[in-house]
Amino acid sequence: MTFTNREVKATKTGFGEGLLEAGRLNPDVICLGADITASVGCDLFANALPDRFFSMGIAEQNCVGVAAGLALEGKIPVFSTYGVFAALRCADQIRVSVCYNNLHVVIGGAHAGVSVGPDGATHQALEDIGIMRVLPNMTVISPCDATQTRVATLAAILRHKGPVYLRFGREPMPDFTNVADEFLIGKAQVLRPGEDLTIIATGHLVWEAIQASYILEMQGIHARVINMHTIKPIDKAAIATAARETGAIVTAEEHQILTGMGSAVAEAIVNHCPVPVEFIGIHDRFGESGTPRELMDKFGLTARAITEASLKVFARKKGVV
């Protein structure tokens, strides 16, 4: 399978498109804004369905409480703000009001990762996966591009039950999936076959992983590429199969290595099929300001870095190091 990006498109746009489509399909869908409506992709819904959009102001914790109340009354509330505010500022309200009651509230975590760029460390969500995945009943989704974000948003709102945290970014990124591709929450996607090692990536790093697999192929190494779009529940079967069949794993994410997708993958590997693992991600530090590409390069979130980690884990598998 060959991947070419049709265009560059922000994943927040996919979220906005999916949210609007879900709202048109189901009159119970309600959107809550936190004074940054356009910035997180909710403006499409607000403009088309203004009677079901409510701006709560800069009061994220209150948004969660209102969302919980709406869910208890049979509505499907969707609340979106920057991921750092949703996951950190609202952690108590999400834990007690939403997760403890197992309510169907969909939370859009925007501006995820360092690729948000100039907004800097205070606005770059690098810990949100870890925080959300430890909460009982919470489902955590991290789609790879705008098209998949649209599909994932529809699935989270219309086909799922219980709390959902859906992570996405602001900056335009390669949009390479198809709307007709099968998307099942909790079911990973094998994007490229390979028997020498496996690269498991999520979010914006999936495109980089695909590019790394082509670089490795030119060196005679065939890397399987898995899009782990659902972090919780994670697809343990796909991870175990990849570990058994390829014998080495690289994980890649735009998030802290500690507690992130790589940690979740490592937990599954330890329990099912221990093999060498290398981790691509943020190494226990805050982000900083810069252009998206500058920051991706600086923090080693690129195809080149994934390639280097792949060569290292392949050597470990062969017992060279």
pLDDT of 296 > 70? The answer is yes
- As a whole number, mean pLDDT of residues 169-176 equals 92
What are the pLDDT digits (tens) for 229-286? 999 999 999 999 999 999 999 999 999 999 999 999 999 999 989 999 999 999 999 9
Taking domain 189-318, whether its CATH number is 3.40.50.920 is answered by yes
Residues 70, 10: Cα–Cα separation, whole Å: 29
Map residue 33 onto helix, strand or coil. Answer: strand
Residue 243 structure tokens = 């570990």
Domains 7-175 and 189-318 share a fold: yes
- As a whole number, mean pLDDT of residues 218-228 equals 98
pTM of the predicted model as reported, rounded to 2 decimal places? 0.95
CB neighbourhood size of 301 (10 A): 25
- Report the mean per-residue pLDDT for the chain: 95
CB 121 within 8 A of CB 287: yes
What are the pLDDT digits (tens) for 128-167? 999 999 999 999 999 999 999 999 999 999 999 999 999 9
CATH classification (class only), 7-175? alpha beta
Map residue 311 onto helix, strand or coil. Answer: helix
Phi, psi torsion values for 63, nearest 5 degrees: -55, -45
* Cis peptide bond N-terminal to 118, omega within 30: no
* Residue 216 burial class via C-beta count within 10 angstroms: exposed 0-12, middle 13-18, buried 19 and up: buried
Q: Where in the chain are the domains?
A: 7-175, 189-318
Residues 197, 301: Cα–Cα separation, whole Å: 19
C-alpha closest to that of 121 among 289, 258, 260, 255: 289
